[in-house]
Amino acid sequence: MNADVEVDLVPQQPPLLELRHVSKRFVRPLDLPARIANLLGAGLSDEVVHAVDRVDLGIAEREVVGLVGESGCGKSTLGRIAVGMLSPTKGERRWRGARLPDLPSAEARRQQLKMQMIFQDPYASLNPRLRVVDIIGEAPVVHRLIAPQQQVEYVGLQLNRVGLDPTLMRRFPHQFSGGQRARIGIARALAVNPDLIICDEPVSALDVSIQAQIVNLLQNLQQRFGLSYLFIAHDLAVVKHISDRVAVMYLGKLVEIADKKTLYDRPLHPYTQALLAAIPKPDPGLRTKRVMLQGDVPSPFRPPTGCRFHTRCPHAQPRCSAEEPKLREATSGHRVACHFFETLPVPTIIARAGMANGKLSERLAAFEAAKQIRMPG
């Protein structure tokens, strides 16, 4: 291990999708009062949100990478960059080792089909004026994966894959339940034969009883079709269930990444430790030493200097606000952005966070019931 060298995050060669040093900034224009104040000489300028900052991430063939972090830390922005819905302000995307152009060529559009996205709100993401047969069948016809006369048969096959009755394909989205709409969104993504699906909070809008069904469906499809997922979620129990590796984001930065067993057994970044300590425990006997976070979540308009976590970190030292920590390798494939991870204590009980046995449905129900325990801070 060389403590001074920033390592490339990408462990596979070549990864299916690779994000290299991607950043995204959003400019929020001044509101009317501020513009009026400027007319009077206030000298205010537009605010810039540093949503994603120099993130390196690779996703291998057939790999599921979980992405976790608090609300507003940049998960969806990173997912949208990954799938090509947003251009990064800086950095690049590579697909099977080849750079993807920012401006789509015919070849890039063909490759683009290989990356699909499933959204959090299964209703908002389905066009309410289209019947399911068109929601699922339109893209395969437009992109000539199938002939128009094959559409009905093809959509029936896709509905079967996700456990829906093909005879319902003439219905509109509002005629389905939330869980069924989630299945329609999955069928739509699968219909263009993708290799990679970005799943952005795919179950968080669903009843807890339905969540486990959809997570299990996604897992079965991933294994059956050899898919890769970037699986974005708040729920660390769900992420642990489905992921091979897990990446942790804080205020636009990747702060830790490892295979899931390493990350959940031995989290080294104080922020990851705090996230895991905040998981509600289904087993009351399974007590986790709480890792208290100090202070509020900083503004993404003015992220803290040095380590962005230093305003809340219980282990912060003067160096933390002065120098930004690089992602460094702790053990093979386990990378951590903290100046002091080698010397910090790892709370031992955290290692068992989210490790309760039982079916996912039972664990999710138990987690839901225990959700009065929240992350402090």
Ligand X SMILES: Nc1ncnc2c1ncn2[C@@H]1O[C@H](COP(=O)(O)OP(=O)(O)OP(=O)(O)O)[C@@H](O)[C@H]1O
* Binder of residue 51, out of ligand X, ligand SF4, Mg ion, none (CB less than 5 to 8 A by kind): ligand X
Site map (CB under 6 A) of ligand X, residues 282-321, x = contact: ------------------x---------------------
The sheet carrying 47-59 orders its strands as 47-59, 17-28, 90-95, 98-99
363 binds ligand SF4 (CB under 6 A): no
Q: How far is the CB of 50 from ligand X (least distance, A)?
A: 8
124-132, 206-214, 309-317, 358-366 -> range binding ligand SF4 (CB under 6 A)? 309-317
73 binds ligand X (CB under 6 A): yes
- DSSP H or E run through 92: strand 90-95
In three-state secondary structure terms, 84 is coil
- The residues, any chain, with a CB within 8 Å of residue 346's CB and separated by 6 or more, are 266, 267, 268, 273
Tell me if 123 contacts ligand X by CB under 6 A: no
Q: Which stretch binds Mg ion (CB under 5 A): 76-84, 163-171, 317-325, 362-370?
A: 76-84
Closest separation in Å from C-beta 149 to ligand X: 40
- For ligand X, give the closer residue by CB, 74 or 280: 74
Helix axes 178-190, 151-161, angle to 10 degrees: 120
Please tell me the distance from the alpha carbon of residue 230 to that of residue 173, in angstroms, as a whole number: 26
The interface mask with ligand SF4, positions 248-287, x = CB under 6 A, is ---------------------xx-----------------
Q: Which residues have C-beta within 8 Å of that of residue 291, sequence separation ≥ 6?
A: 270, 273, 274, 277, 314, 347, 350
Q: Does 76 bind Mg ion (CB under 5 A)?
A: yes
CA distance 227 to 200: 16
Contacts of 36 (CB under 8 A, 6+ apart): none
Q: Decide: is 125 part of the binding site for ligand X (CB under 6 A).
A: no
How distant is the alpha carbon of residue 74 from its chain centre?
A: 9
**Can residue 340 be called a binding residue for ligand SF4 (CB under 6 A)?**
yes
- Residue linked to tokens 């129900």: 365
Applying CB under 6 A, the span of 4-12, 154-162, 293-301, 305-313 interacting with ligand SF4 comes to 305-313
Interface residues with ligand X (CB under 6 A) are 26, 28, 49, 51, 69, 71-77, 300
